Structure 1
Amino acid sequence: MTILLVFGGLILLLLTGMPIFAALGLTATAILLIFEGHIGPISDTVMAHLSKPVLMTIPLFAFMAQIMIKPKVIDDLYVMANTVIGHIRGGLGVATVLSCTIFAAISGSSVATALSIGSSAIPQMKRYGYPEREALGVIAAGGTLGILIPPSAPMILYAIVSDASIGALFLAGILPGLMLAIMFSIYCMWNGGTREHTSWSGWGAVMLALRKSIWAVLTPPIIMGGIYAGVFTASEAAAAGCLYALLVAALAYRTLTPRMIWDCAYATMRTSMMVSMIIAGAAMLGHAITIIRLPVGVTEAVAALGLSLLAFILVVMALIFVMGMFFDSIAIILITTPILLPTMHALDIDLVWYGVLLIINLELAMITPPVGFNLFVIKGITDAPRAPQPLTGFMTDLRACRTALAKPPRVTGCLG
C-alpha cells in the first residue's frame, strides 16, 4: 500500500505539469513529514550526491555537443553518408541511419539527433521518392540512438543514481546501439527497392566528403577509444572531447568566436543547473524511501511472490514501457531506479546489463505516443500531417501534449 501511495502521489504531481525536481522534492518532504515528523539531515544527502566527481561529465559532454553542433558538422556528416552509400538500394535511408549513429556519439541526446539530422535528411528523402511517413519514421527511430550510443546523458544519470560504472555502461551500449543501427539499415534496404536513388558520385567525391566530415567521424573513437584503452576516465574523456571540439571549431571550421563560446557555455549552464536540481530532488526521494524501508518492502514482496529473475525483468520492462508513454526518460530513471535497486542486488542482477535494457526501453519512450519527444521535434521541423484516420483520437492527445510542452523546455529537451 505504501508503494502505491508514494508512486501514485509522485505520478499525480508529474501529470500536473510540475517540474521533475519539484515533484521529487515535494514527495520526499511529504514522506518524511508523515512518517518521521521532520525532514532530518536531508541537506547532507543532497550535497553528497551533488559533490560526486562523476557529475562533471554532464556539463562537459553537453558543452562538447554544443560546440560541435554550431559549425556545419551536421551538413558535412549527412553529405558524407549520402555520398558513400546513397546510391545503393534504400541508400538514403541507410545514410540517414548512419548519420544518426555517428551524431548520437557526439550529442548524447535523442532529441538533438532527430532535430539536427532530420533538418538535413527529411527534404532529401522526400525529394527522392520516400513517402513522408517513412522518411519521418526513419528519423524518429534513428534519433533514438542518441541515448544508447555513448556518450549518453541518461546513462550518466542512471550511473549516478545506481553507482554503476559509467565507463562500463558506455562500452556496453556500443554493441546494442550498432545492432539497432544495422537493423534499421536492413529495413531501409528491404523497403527501398522501388524508389529513385542518388547516383554514384565517384571515388573523388567520396574522398572529398570523407575529408570534410572526418572531424565528426573521429569524435567517437577519440572518446571511447581513450576510455577503452585506459588513457582516461569518463570524466577525463569528457574534458578531452571538449578540447577536441574547440580545436575542430577553431582550426578546421574556423567558426569559433567569443560569442559562440558564450552561447554554448550559457546553454550548457542551463542544462547543468536543471540536471543538478533534478539530482537533488532524486537524492531527497531516495533518502525518504530508504527511511521508510520501501525498497526493502519491494524486495520482500518479490521474494514472497517467488518471481524468477526473468519474470522480474519482464514485469519491470513492461511497467517502464507503459510509463514511457507518459513520462520522459529522466523521470523514469529517477523514479524507478532507487526503488528497484535493492531488489536487483538481491536477485544478483548486473547493474550494467540492466542499465542497457533500461536505456533501450527508454528509446521506445522517445517515439511512443502520446508523449514521444522525437515526434514533437519532427513535427516542429516539418509540415507533417496532423492525424491519419484510425489514429485521430490518439493523435489528438499527441497534439494536446505538444501544446502543453510548448512552454520553455525543461531538462527533458536537453537530455532526452
Structure 2
Amino acid sequence: MILGFTFLLLLLILILVGVPVGFALAGTTLVGLLITGGWSALPAMSNTAWATSSEFVLTAIPLFVLMSEVIGVTGIGRDLFISVERLLGRISGGQAVASIIACAIFGAVSGTAVGVAAVIGAVAIPEMLKRGYPAPIATGAVAGASPLGMIIPPSLPLILYGVVTETSIAKLFLAGVVPGLLITLLCCIAASILVRRSHVHATPVETGSLIQSFSLSLPVIILIVLVIGSIYAGIATPTEAAGVGAVGALVIAGVQGRLTVRRVRDALYASARTSAMLMLVLIGAMLFGYLLGITRMPQELTSAVMSMDISRWVIFILIMLAYFLLGMFLEVTSIILITVPVIFPTIVALGFDPIWFGIVLMVNMSLAVVTPPVGLCLYVVKSCSPGTSLAQVIKGTTPFMFMYVLVLCILCFVPQLAIY
C-alpha cells in the first residue's frame, strides 16, 4: 500500500505543477509500470487504453455534449429562460426563481454545471441587474443553481462514475431526479427569502400568455421527454437516448431556422474539444487504476478500514470532508476519475449502496464548482457580469451552497429518495 500512496503522491505533484490531468495520470502509470514490472509491463497501457476507449456506453458523452452545444449556440437556451421568466416574473423574486428553474431544466439537457452557468447566466444575469436586483443575488442565483446539471440526468459526471464503478447508468440517472428536484425547490425558496430580505424593488416583467410562454420552452421540453423518457420507459439505452437527443436538437434548431453553417461548426468544434478532453482524462484514470490494482492499494485500504473499530458513518463523513477539500483545488472530472477507483471498494465493503453513493457524491461535487479558488462556475458567472467582483459572486452563492449540504444530510437519513 505504501507504493500505491507513493504513486498517488507523484500524481498530485504533477497536477499541482501544472501538468494536464490526463498526461499526469498516464505519466504516473508509465513510471509505476516501469518500476513494478519493467519494460515488459508496458503493453498493458495500450491494452487498457483500447479497452477503455472502445466502451460503447462512452459514445453517450460526445452526443450529450453535442446536444448541449447546439441548444446553447442556437439560442434555444435563451428562449427557455424567457419562457420561465414570463411565467414567474411578477412574483416576489420571480426572476431569481426563474433563473434557478431555467438552470434545472437546461441541466436536464446539458449534463454539465459549466454549460448551465454559461448559457443561463449570459441571459438571466444582465436581465436581473437591469431590473434592479443586487449583483450578489443575480449572480448567486445562477451560480448556485448551475451544479444541478451534474445531478439531474443526463449528467456527464454520473456517466463517468457509472463507467468507472461498472454501475448501471440508467439507474444512476433515475436516482438523480428526486434529489435534483429537491435542491431546485430549496434554492427557489432561498432565492425568494433573499430577495425579500434585500427589499428589492425589481421592475415587473412583461408577462405573456401561458401558451406563448410554453411555446418558447417547448423545444427543450421535447428533448427532455425524448432523452429521459426513452431511458425510463426502457425504449432506449443511455447511449441511444443521447443519439436521439443530439439529432433532435439539430432537427429542432433546423426547423426553427437557427441552424447556420457557422453555428454547426461552432457546436461541433466545442463538442469535439470537450469530448476529447474527457476521453483523455478517462483513459488516464483507467490506466492509473490499473497501476493501483497492481500495488493492491484499494484492497489493502479496504482491509485496513474494515479492521478499524469505527462506525461506518464516521468513515463516510471523513470521506465526504476529503471530497469537499479536494473540490476546492481540483476539477470534478479529475476528482471522480482519480479517487473513485481507490475508494469505491471500501464504500461497497462498508455496505453503502453504489447507486446512493453516486448521487451523494454528485451532490458533494456540486459544491466543487462553486467553491474558490477553482470553482469554475464562479468565474463563468462573473464573466456574465463584468462589473461584479468575484467576492460578490461568492457572497451571493454561499446561501445556495447550504441547500446542497442540507440535501446531502437528508439523503443520509432518507436514502430512499435516491434508491426508491
TM-score (ref. length: structure 2): 0.88
The secondary structure found in structure 2 opposite 1:130 is coil
Q: Give the counterpart of 1:362 among 356, 362, 365.
A: 365
**In 1, distance between residues paired with 2:330 and 2:320?**
14
Query: For residues 322 and 16 of structure 1, do their structure 2 counterparts lie closer, same or farther at Cα, with a shift above 3 Å needed?
Result: same
Q: Does 1:128 align with 2:96?
A: no
Farther off after superposition, 38-47 or 184-193: 38-47
**In 2, distance between residues paired with 1:368 and 1:19?**
21
Q: Does 1:196 align with 2:201?
A: yes
Q: Does 1:377 align with 2:380?
A: yes
Q: Supply the AA of the counterpart residue of 1:207.
A: I
Q: Supply the AA of the counterpart residue of 2:29.
A: A
Conserved in 1, the CA contact under 8 Å of 2:89 and 2:206? no
Q: Supply the AA of the counterpart residue of 1:374.
A: C
Q: Supply the AA of the counterpart residue of 1:326.
A: F
Conserved in 1, the CA contact under 8 Å of 2:379 and 2:390? no
Q: Give the counterpart of 1:155 among 154, 158, 162.
A: 158
**In 2, distance between residues paired with 1:259 and 1:143?**
27
Q: CA deviation at 1:42?
A: 2.4
Conserved in 2, the CA contact under 8 Å of 1:320 and 1:361? yes
Q: Which residue of 2 aligns with 1:7?
A: 8
Q: Point out where structure 2 has 5 or more consecutive residues left out of the alignment.
A: 395-420
**In 2, distance between residues paired with 1:178 and 1:351?**
21
Q: Give the counterpart of 1:297 among 300, 303, 323.
A: 300
Q: Which residue of 1 aligns with 2:100?
A: 97
Q: Which residue of 1 aligns with 2:142?
A: 139
Q: Which residue of 2 aligns with 1:405?
A: none
Q: Which residue of 2 aligns with 1:244?
A: 248
Conserved in 2, the CA contact under 8 Å of 1:87 and 1:200? yes
Q: Supply the AA of the counterpart residue of 2:377.
A: N
Q: Which residue of 1 aligns with 2:28?
A: 27
Instruction: Supply the RMSD in Å over aligned alpha carbons.
Output: 2.0
**In 2, distance between residues paired with 1:90 and 1:299?**
49
**In 1, distance between residues paired with 2:204 and 2:385?**
26
Q: CA deviation at 1:217?
A: 2.5
**In 2, distance between residues paired with 1:338 and 1:191?**
40
Q: CA deviation at 1:348?
A: 2.9
**In 2, distance between residues paired with 1:210 and 1:9?**
53
Conserved in 2, the CA contact under 8 Å of 1:128 and 1:195? no
The secondary structure found in structure 2 opposite 1:326 is coil
Q: Which residue of 2 aligns with 1:341?
A: 344
Conserved in 2, the CA contact under 8 Å of 1:84 and 1:206? yes
Conserved in 1, the CA contact under 8 Å of 2:302 and 2:346? yes
The secondary structure found in structure 2 opposite 1:370 is coil
**In 2, distance between residues paired with 1:196 and 1:151?**
37
Conserved in 1, the CA contact under 8 Å of 2:133 and 2:202? no
Q: Supply the AA of the counterpart residue of 2:145.
A: G
- 1:147-186, CA deviations, whole angstroms, 9 ceiling, x for partnerless residues? 1111111111111111111111111111111111100100
Q: Does 1:220 align with 2:211?
A: no
Q: Which residue of 1 aligns with 2:238?
A: 234
The secondary structure found in structure 2 opposite 1:305 is coil
Residues 265-344 of structure 1 aligned to structure 2 (within 5 Å): 265-344=268-347
Query: For residues 116 and 309 of structure 1, do their structure 2 counterparts lie closer, same or farther at Cα, with a shift above 3 Å needed?
Result: same
Conserved in 2, the CA contact under 8 Å of 1:108 and 1:151? yes
Conserved in 2, the CA contact under 8 Å of 1:62 and 1:268? yes
Residues 104-119 of structure 1 aligned to structure 2 (within 5 Å): 104-119=107-122
Q: CA deviation at 1:103?
A: 0.8
**In 2, distance between residues paired with 1:5 and 1:362?**
25
**In 2, distance between residues paired with 1:135 and 1:88?**
16
Conserved in 1, the CA contact under 8 Å of 2:104 and 2:149? yes
Q: CA deviation at 1:197?
A: 4.2
Query: For residues 260 and 135 of structure 1, do their structure 2 counterparts lie closer, same or farther at Cα, with a shift above 3 Å needed?
Result: closer
Residues 60-79 of structure 1 aligned to structure 2 (within 5 Å): 60-79=63-82
Q: CA deviation at 1:200?
A: 6.7
Q: Supply the AA of the counterpart residue of 2:80.
A: L
**In 1, distance between residues paired with 2:257 and 2:391?**
46
**In 2, distance between residues paired with 1:224 and 1:314?**
32
Query: For residues 354 and 121 of structure 1, do their structure 2 counterparts lie closer, same or farther at Cα, with a shift above 3 Å needed?
Result: same
Q: Supply the AA of the counterpart residue of 2:313.
A: L
Q: Point out where structure 1 has 5 or more consecutive residues left out of the alignment.
A: 392-416
Q: CA deviation at 1:33?
A: 1.8
TM-score (ref. length: structure 1): 0.89
Q: Supply the AA of the counterpart residue of 2:114.
A: V
